[in-house]
Each structure stands twice: as structure tokens, then as C-alpha cells.
A and B are shown apart, each in its own frame.
Chain A
Amino acid sequence: MASLIGSYSLSFGLFLSVFIIFFSVRNLRNTEILDKRIISFTFTQFFFVVLSFFGLIISFINSDFSNETVFNHSHTTKPLFYKISGTWGNHEGSLLLWLLVLTLFISIFLIKSSQQPKNYRILTLLFQQIIIIGFFIFLIKTSSPFNYIFPTPNEGLGLNPILQDPALAIHPPILYLGYVGSSIIFSSALAAMVTSHVSKEWAKHIKQWVLASWVFLTLGILLGSIWAYYELGWGGFWFWDPVENVSLMPWFALTTLLHCILVLEKKKILTSWAMILSIATFALSMSGTFLVRSGILNSVHTFANDPERGLFILIFLFTLIFLSIFIFIFFHSGKEKIENNFFWLSKETSILINNWFMMYFLSVVLIGTIYPIFLEVITANKISVGPPFYNKLILPFLIPFLIAMAIGPNLNWVKSDFKDKFYMMVFLTISFLLSALIIKQFDIKFLVNTILVTSAFFLFFSTSREFFVKRFKNLSQNIAHFGFSLLILSVLFNNIFSNEVITNLKIGETFKTEKFTINFENIDQEDEKNFKAIIGKFNIQYLDGSSDILNPELRIYNQPNIITSEADIKTNLFTDKFITMNYVQNQEYFNIRYQVKPFMIWIWISVLLITFGGSLSLFNKRYEI
């Protein structure tokens, strides 16, 4: 029943697009005010998508296995929370979520934009409708979440256990709020070009949307990365895997756009650049969906895929890009007043430098991600591009990037002098001495690391100082930049000082290193609702006499039949102690990995700080950047 309602709601929602488009086009010519019917139809459409989404959730909760999606991704013994999150933990459901967010955002947009010119609002709605219709058709034609199975199976296939995790359950909705938020920026940029509305006011108004989607995208990436850290038990938080890169690329574009919008808001320059970025961000989000769903990406993360779906998204993506290029060329007048007041040392130059580096980082990730695809098509060579590639191309360029980031916010618009030269020099010296001291303690490449850590410390000190002198004028930007310096520092220290031991142990065996001993004491078994747990007891003894008890788990899920490892992580402010136990087939040995990861928690905290900075300016106008 719920499936039936869901299915009809979808068709009805698509049907409503006809009315929305009809009234919108008519409203473009006549009257000065927005036709109320457009708003009601948009809301009705949103309502039907919500109805359809709830239909799917209810089918999941009721374990209605006559629905193919539910059958493929659920099971009666699954906890309620994961039954609900199973709704978007699969291809069909996640596309329905896309659609839900698309229609939600255009509804909010119509409410929030009442101060904007009528035609600009209608055109934004129309462009958004094109995207919405595309997704409706995509859902109904190639990936309907409401397909029937007959006869109805008694039991479903279950959700992949590694997806049964709180962080990953809420990861897609958060990430999509960021991803799909860029659709509004895209539609609005196109509408602003057509109506010649690209102005300081437009920048002020769209900045809210840019900030909102940026906050969600950052949070979404953070959640995915926390999940990968503890659930996959790889002991890292970023692997430069293509599927991860696909979410990082729009983030680069969006961050660049955010900074660019700030300049546009103040000076009405860089308009073309802002338009290009708005289009690029959405195109990158869409192509991310395409790459993940089409099976083209050669990744360990790849989900269920289907070439027909890939082809659809590809055609759709090209249509949108073609449309936007067309509008950009024929409607956008790039005539900016470059006044004769361009100076090298000013806030806008520093933002330009930021954009410059961001674009470079974006291209590195882009090429690292798609180059293997092209090479395989051209030469049939199968390759992969690993972390060394990214480290080599990104790390050195972080140095000037961080320094520019430390100096930039202290400059004025238009023309500036180096203020606080004295402080800057002092900070630079302290940073250098401090990092040289830290790095020297350890046997690692001295030069590169010292310079890198110095620049991160420099940013850290100069942003810290702002908290005391600026009287909260730029509080949100300050917090975000401070968070970023903290992030870089934690990541660097985490990389430099990490330590790990991997070995195979039988129960009762001991593994000795110079600094600690690992005792594999025993194992316990427990029966849970939908899995059996094997819990290992490890006693780790350190030279100074202290010890830790760690209890990693192996979970044997019955449906689907999969073994997963649950890491046991002891977290404190300075280090994470992390142990995973893996099963080796037909052997009495367990594969054990013990890791000491310094400053892990600071990586999460600093990203939270960055997003907090962003949300602060979203909610409190006083702290506007």
C-alpha cells in the first residue's frame, strides 16, 4: 500500500511540473508580482515527493518485501534505525533523496527570495524544474524505488553490515544537502545571467545558499571520513579513493566560490568567474553522481551500478552543461568596471591567490581521478593513482597557500599595507623554531616537513591572535581559518608520528616490540539480534608499566553473510590507540593491527570548527564575513 502511494506520488509530482512550467512561463511576461499559483504548485510538488519518500520509509519499516528495493536492502531482523536509514542506503532511495532535497530547496528558495526581482525568481524556478524533471524521469524510468516482486519473498537480502553504522546512516542526507544545495546556486546563477541580475545584491542573497551547502558538504565529508576511520579499520581518514575524491572536488569549487562571492559582494568584480564557479560546482556534484553510479570508477567503494543509468546521467549532465555554456556566452555581459584601483596588496588579491591554489588542488584531484579512466579507454592499461601522487602535488603547494591565508584576512579591501609587520615576523620565527624543534626529535625528512609545519604554525598563531584584537568583527571567518590551521597541523602530526604493528596471533600468543607488548588473552562470543560477535581481549603493556585493555570485535552477520571487524579505539586528547582483529579463512590465527594515531580527535574537532565558523555567519548576521 505504502509503495503504491509512493509510486503514484512520484508520477503525480512529475505531472505537476507541467503546471509549474506553464504558469511560470506565462508569469514571465505579465504582471509585476509573482503568480501565487506557481508557489502553491511548487509546494504541492514538494509535498508529493515527501509523500513518496515516506511511502518508501514505511515500506522499509514494515519490511514490505513485495517492494524490490526493500527486498534487496532490508531484512526483518535489522534494527529499526537501520531499516529507516536503509531507505537512502541504496541507489534508488538515494536518488529519491536527491529529488526530495531538490524540491525542498526550491520551495525554501521561493520563500526566502521575496525581495528579489520577479523574473529572476521565476527563471531560477524554471532552471531548477529542468533539473527536477530530469531526476523524476531518471527515477521513474531507470531506477524506480517502487518495483514489485511477485510472489512476495518472506525475507529480504539485508543491508551490507558495514553500512549499518550511525555515521553512515546520516551521511547521505547531510552530504546531499550540500551536493543538491549547489543546484540552487546553479539555477540562480543562470537566472541571474539571463535577467542581468548579477550584482552585489545578488551576491549577498546567494551567499547564504553557498554557505549553507558548503557547511553541509563539509559535514558530510567529515562524517564519511569518520566512518571510514573506525568502520573500515584502515586506520586512516582519507585514502584518495576516487569515490572520496568525487565529494572533495565540489568542495574545492564551492569553497572557491564562497570566497569569490565575498569579493563580488563588496566590489562587483570577478562576475564571470563567479558564474563559472557556480556552474562548475553543480556540474562536479552531478558528475560525482554519474561516476559513482555508472560503475566507471575503479574504486573499492563502488556501489551497485548499471551502465544504462550512467548513460542517462551523462546525457542529462551534458544537456545541463551545454545549456549553461549557451547562457553564459549569450546572456552574460562580462563588462566589469576594472577601476584603476587594483593593487597588489589587498584583500581581493589575496582571495584571488586563494582561488588560484584551490583551482590547482581541484585539477590535481580531478586528473588523478579521471586519468585512469581515459588511459584505460585509450591504451587498455589498467592503472591506479595512489596517495603518493596527491601528496607530492598538493603538500608543497600548501606552504604558500597557508601563508597567504595567514596574511590575507589582515589586509584591507582596495589597498593595504602590511599591518602588524612586527607580529608577523615574530610569529614566523616562533613557528620555525617550534617546528624545527619538534621535527628534529624524529627521524624524518627534515626540510620539507619543517617548512610545512612552520607555515601551518604561522597560520595557527596569526589566526589565534585575531581572536584577541579584532573584537569579533570577522568571527566566523576567523574560526573557520583557525580550524583549518588546526586541521593541517593535526593531519601533519598524525602522519609524522603514527605508529603501527601488524601481525598474526593465535589466542594466548604475545607480540613484543621495543616499546610495548601485545597480549592476545582470549576471545568471547555473544549473540546479537542480527549477528554473532567474537570479542577479542588484548592487553597492551607499555615500557612505563601502564597498560590498556582493548576489545576489538569480529561480527558475523547472518543476512547477508558477511564478516566485519569493529575496531576498538581508545581516544584521548593526544592519541588514539586503535586495534582491529581480522579473520583469516580456515586458520587459527587472527590478523591483528595495532595503531597509535596522534591527534586523531583534533582532526574531527578542527573540521567541526570550520563548519561551525560557516554556520555562525549563516545564522548570525552580526558575524557576517
Chain B
Amino acid sequence: MYGRKVKLRFFFVLLILATLALSVFLLIKSLEENVIFFKSPTEIKTLSEISKKKIRIGGMVKKDSITIISKEIKFIVTDFKNEINVIYSGVVPNLFAEEKGVVAEGYLKDKNFFLATKILAKHDENYMPPEVKAALEEK
């Protein structure tokens, strides 16, 4: 009926389509679970519910707000409209400083309190994470 060549081609096309479908499915599923959203303090204030998922917050570290209690570092992130308290125990990048931009990753406990698991390092002192820039520009 059909030659071996045609069958082979047909099989290949089928296999490619199947892989594609599988990959797309896996990708979408994994994206749903592992994507981290970014919020500014103001956006957090307007949230209707507190999600248990990991998020990133960003803004400026408020002046005179950094304090250390043994293992933990406390500071306040502000976008000059709203602020949020952050508690963090982990590595602090050297460019982490008061009145500088910061991005922290972690969990939101309530609308005023954020438990950070990571503070993102940056390469250069003038660098402002785009999220922070956008959040600050909105004010």
C-alpha cells in the first residue's frame, strides 16, 4: 500500500507532534507552579488575599531601617507610598544598603510583613532592578 519511506515519515511527524504536545504541557504546568511574581509594597497593600506562594518584592531600603538581631536582619522596603517590614536570615549582598534599590524573594506573611529567603545580588552600584525602577516611577 504505502512504501516504507512514507510510513517512516509519517511516524516521524507523529513522534515530533507528540513530543511537542508533551513538552508544551510540561512547560505550562511547570510555569504555573514555579513562576515567581513581583510586587511592589503598594501592590501588596491592595492584594485581596495573601498567597502562600513565593514572591519577589522590590523598592528602596528605607533610611535608618536596617537592624540586626543575631541571625536575622530586619529592614523596611518602601516605594515612598507604602512600606513593608522584611525579616531575613541569609547572605546580604554588599550592595545592599539604605536608600538603595533592593529585590527580596520570599513569602508574604501578612500585608505588613515579609519573610525573605533571598536578597538578590547586583553587579553595579548604579544598577536598579527594572521592577524597582518601574515601581518607583509609578509614584
Contacts and interface: CB of A to CB of B under 8 A. Distances in A.
A563 B94 contact: yes
Contacts of B72: 504
Given A384-B56, A393-B26, A300 B123 contact: yes
B34 A584 contact: no
Nearest to B9: A338
A176 B72 CA distance: 43
Closest CB pairs A-B (n = 7)? A382-B38, A389-B34, A563-B94, A591-B92, A388-B34, A589-B68, A585-B97
Contact of A582 (B33, B36, B94, B120): B94
A385 B120 contact: no
Contacts of A301: 123
Interface of A: 160, 162, 232-234, 295, 298, 300-303, 338, 340, 342, 356, 360, 363-364, 367, 371, 381-386, 388-389, 392-393, 502-504, 554, 560-565, 580, 582-587, 589, 591, 593
Contacts of A303: 123
A587 B68 contact: yes
Contact of A584 (B37, B68, B131): B68
Nearest to B92: A591
Contacts of B5: 338, 340
A448 to B, nearest CB: 15
Interface residues of B, number: 44
A46 B98 CA distance: 49
B115 interface: no
Interface string B22-39: 010011001101111110
26 contacts: A160-B124, A298-B129, A381-B37, A382-B131, A382-B134, A384-B56, A385-B35, A385-B36, A386-B36, A388-B33, A393-B27, A502-B89, A503-B70, A504-B70, A504-B73, A562-B94, A562-B95, A563-B94, A564-B94, A583-B92, A584-B73, A585-B97, A585-B98, A586-B98, A587-B66, A591-B73
Contacts of B68: 504, 584, 587, 589
A562 B123 CA distance: 10
A582 B123 contact: no
Contacts of B121: 232, 234, 300
Interface string B109-139: 0000000000011111101011100100000
- Most chain-A Cβ atoms within 10 A of its Cβ — which of B26, B37, B91? B91
A388 B93 CA distance: 22
A388 B14 CA distance: 30
A363 B123 contact: no
B91 A502 contact: yes
Contacts of A561: 125
B19 interface: yes
Contacts of A585: 66, 96-98
- Most chain-A Cβ atoms within 10 A of its Cβ — which of B31, B89, B131? B31
B116 to A, nearest CB: 12
Contacts of B98: 585-586
Contact of B31 (A363, A371, A562, A593): A371
Contacts of A503: 70-71, 89
A96 B17 CA distance: 43
Given A383-B38, A562-B125, A584-B96, 9 more contacts: A300-B129, A382-B37, A385-B31, A392-B33, A502-B90, A582-B92, A583-B94, A586-B66, A587-B68
A238 B37 CA distance: 22
B35 A584 contact: no
Nearest to A562: B125
Contacts of A565: 94
Contacts of A386: 34, 36
B38 A363 contact: no
A59 B121 CA distance: 32
Contacts of B93: 582
- Most chain-A Cβ atoms within 10 A of its Cβ — which of B4, B68, B72? B68
A288 B86 CA distance: 35
B106 to A, nearest CB: 12
A340 B95 CA distance: 64
B8 interface: yes
A300 B34 CA distance: 19
B35 A384 contact: yes
A383 B8 contact: no
A455 to B, nearest CB: 19
Contacts of A587: 66-68
B37 A338 contact: no
Nearest to A381: B37
A381 B37 CA distance: 7
A562 B68 CA distance: 22
Nearest to B97: A585
- Most chain-B Cβ atoms within 10 A of its Cβ — which of A302, A342, A560? A302
A550 to B, nearest CB: 16
A360 B23 contact: yes
Contact of B19 (A298, A356, A385, A591): A356
Contact of B123 (A162, A295, A388, A584): A162
A382 B40 CA distance: 10
Given A298-B130, A360-B19, A593 B91 contact: yes
Contacts of B33: 388, 392
A273 B69 CA distance: 60
Contacts of A563: 94-95
B92 A389 contact: no
A565 B121 CA distance: 12
